[in-house]
A and B are shown apart, each in its own frame.
Chain A
């Protein structure tokens, strides 16, 4: 396949690009929309909002989720908030400032035009969600309240207690449920996409496995939208839900969709540290806590005193010290690495010395316990349930954990991958966050893509196919894809090895966390690139999956996902090795400033690395140059 990387960014002034584009792309008239069928895979924020909106517009939509209901997607766990440029607090925010902060926060590795559009539609998202009944926090006058988040000096984050993701997802889920009730969306639950099917170079549909009955089935459509989330679970331990996986995106990649910037992963600074070997996941404590919590460690290494017995002048509030103007609200990548350095200096706290303190004592004495409880009550309760410690009395212990992946399927300005008719939205694509995502921007991007971008841009592609029928599912392309799915399932069950899927996943996670986590180096990545294929070979020979193919079989589901994580892990390391600079979440120890901050190489690496899958060999790289006309490239400073 010849690949042309055309970002399709429209001409004109950045503030007018989206308007111009909407005017110049083709429309599908309302009476014709019902003649098109669109498949949406994934029903998180991006997928549910896209499926609902496409159906409202009149398209025939089939949506798929591997969950038992569309309300479970991991978007639901987002805590802190959603950004928008409303400037309700009158503190100097604007679309341009949100755009600027996001490009800067992403360490100048995102596409300007996409980010500007994101900032433009951010305000509509808040309007839409409020109209749906999302119970955003309000002040006593009944108007919407805002709080601040990392990487910004304005308060632009709308929130619903510590459950903003839940409320926004339920809003999107309810919009989707309304369409399901009206019969305009056919929703398949407990149904996992395992192949993208192509015909004549275009996306023609998908193959799914019914997770309850094991039935493998084909579904065809005029276009396919993947809204299947991120891949942090490649690390095994992450803040992602247990079933988050890369499978849909990866299977599309194997069919020719380029995978962009896989090494851009985000390690979130405020998670509860691991307590033992059997820990299955890490729990996030919202970044919003950094509004009122102060992060510190003891100035002395190996200090074994309890936090409350360490006097004020022996504490190092290191974020406030190193980054005085942003303080505890320094961006995630910067804060995470600072915590890592403290632990390296043996200043870690807690029984395993694997955390730093996040202390609310000052805020409680300044604002009172009630105010803190009102703002973060549910987070404090969750912390106490997990650790058995009361954060109103002793400081929380936190540590960075893999959380979000900025990399993903390469998409153009229309959110279409390089495969015609195959779109990718939300965390599954690579688009808007560059090398580091700012807090409260994931919800914004997922909903921007689903509510306000894809539903417009998809019409431009569909317009060519008026009065054509989708490829029938009896076509050999579907039959072959079904066979491939069944064969892979059979192979996993027939391996009958001696180790569980979990065991392999944990081992893979350890390699990735050590060599492709918060800090990366050439020797480390090369080591990982020799260890991963060896472990994968062992996996292919020695994994044990019990049970049957025609039944609910969770080990089997997981085994398929872990297979894909192995391949992705290699690509991540390859990308990390290739990118000889540090940018945002990608920190190569060879490339840092004297103070230990990320040091970019704008001459050689101001581009998107989009990787093409090669069967039986290393992926090949295509570079999309990034041009910055409106934001001046600079060394990021949060001092």
Chain B
């Protein structure tokens, strides 16, 4: 198929950016979206123009490195699919495809379609873990965990940290990302000792970088892992509790 691409090109974080048009000709329907960009890049290289910078790695939808705004939708038109798993059969011959980086103040552009998502790491560093030094763990079967709880924890833990939720949000909020990690850990018995302190620390850190949630729900529909908004509700409950509770008397501080 033949396509027209309108691609955001930008030198650096400070530099001005703009759209450039490219032709992608003779693309196979079996090709993935990123393979289509590979072909365009190889042609650009041959023509003496610097290839388009975009982040990607595993191309299996699990590492979370890739992420493009495709025709205004994070990761493009296919629900529950990261950019690397999107295939060209979802487009039609002759389509014009607009490709942009994630747009959010907390994700500054590094170059072209590559953005800096390190604010996510700051949130995890603030409390997105269970404090257990290597070697101090009890036998794994000592604490039974109801299957339903571990399944729900897993649904949240499936987050790949791609940032589509932030890109989709009109406020550039990171509630879904933060709530997914909190939901994963707070649902498990192992996560209880730090439940409230974790929630407070992660939410407070999130607020330093990202906008506020106003319940649009765009994040959920953009999420390649289909992570539910319910985790945000759970996070808000735990955050409220953390504000009201005497954390020391709750055994948490």
A and B part of one assembly: yes
Does any Cβ of A come within 8 Å of B45's Cβ? yes
Interface of B is mostly: loop
- Do A554 and B53 contact each other (CB < 8 Å), given the known contacts A67-B65, A386-B87, A502-B38? yes
A69 touches B120 (CB 8 A): yes
CA distance A142 to B50 in the complex (A): 55
Contact residues, A69-125 vs B (CB, 8 A): 69-74, 76-77, 86, 88, 124
Chain B's nearest CB lies how many Å from the CB of A288?
15
Residue from the list B65, B184, B190 in contact with A130, Cβ < 8 A: B190
**Which residues from B are CB-within-8-Å of A620?**
none
Interface centre among A71, A381, A547 (most CB of B within 10 A): A71
Q: Given A71-B64, A131-B130, A241-B59, does the pair A189, B118 have CB atoms closer than 8 Å?
A: yes
Contact of A555 among B45, B110, B147 (CB under 8 A): B45
B32 within 8 A of A: yes
0/1 per residue, B168-193, Cβ < 8 Å to A?
Answer: 00000000000000001100101100
A133 and B63 within 8 A (CB): no
Give CA–CA (A554, B51) in the complex, Å: 9
Chain A interface residues (CB < 8 Å from chain B): 49, 52-53, 56, 67-74, 76-77, 86, 88, 124, 126-133, 135-144, 160-161, 163, 165-167, 170, 173-175, 177-178, 180-181, 189, 212, 241-243, 275-276, 278-281, 283-284, 381-382, 385-386, 388, 451-452, 455, 500, 502-503, 544, 546-547, 551-552, 554-555
The 10 closest A-B pairs by CB, nearest first: A142-B144, A181-B125, A131-B137, A174-B129, A130-B140, A127-B137, A135-B154, A241-B58, A53-B134, A241-B57
Chain A nearest Cβ from B64, distance in angstroms: 7
Chain A residues closer than 8 Å to B144, beta-carbon distance: 138, 141-143
Interface string of B128-170 (1 = CB under 8 A from A): 1111111111111101111100110110011011000000000
B112 smallest CB distance to A (angstroms): 8
Interface residues of B in 36-82 (CB under 8 A from A): 38-39, 42, 45-46, 48-51, 53, 55-65, 78, 80-81
Chain A residues, CB < 8 A from B11: 551
* Chain B residues positioned under 8 Å from A381 (CB to CB): 80
In the complex, A451→B135 CA distance in Å? 8
Chain B min CB distance to A283 (Å): 6
The CA of A554 and the CA of B53, in the complex, are separated in Å by: 7
**B residues less than 8 Å from A52 (CB atoms):** 134
- Within the complex, the shortest CB–CB distance from B218 to chain A, in Å, comes to 22
Q: Are A242 and B56 in contact (CB under 8 A)?
A: yes
Q: When the two chains form their complex, are residues B134 and A455 in contact, meaning their CB atoms are under 8 A apart?
A: yes
Does B25 lie at the interface of the complex (its beta carbon under 8 Å from any beta carbon of A)?
Answer: no
> With A77-B63, A131-B138 as given contacts, are A243 and B57 in contact (CB-CB < 8 Å)?
yes
Residue B197 at the chain A interface, CB threshold 8 Å: no
Measured in the bound complex, the distance between the Cα atoms of B146 and A140 in whole Å is 7
Closest Cβ–Cβ distance, residue A157 to chain B (whole Å) = 14
Q: Does chain A have a CB within 8 A of B6?
A: no
For A548, the closest partner residue in chain B by CB is B50
Smallest Cβ distance from A322 to chain B, in angstroms?
31
Tell me if B145 and A138 are in contact (CB < 8 A). Answer: yes
Contact B53 A86 (CB under 8 A): no
- From A88, A133, A161, A212, B188 is in contact (CB under 8 Å) with A133
A-B contact pairs, 15 of them (CB 8 A): A68-B65, A70-B121, A74-B57, A133-B130, A142-B147, A165-B62, A167-B154, A180-B121, A276-B31, A278-B28, A283-B59, A382-B85, A500-B45, A552-B111, A552-B114
- Closest residue of chain B to A74, judged by CB? B58
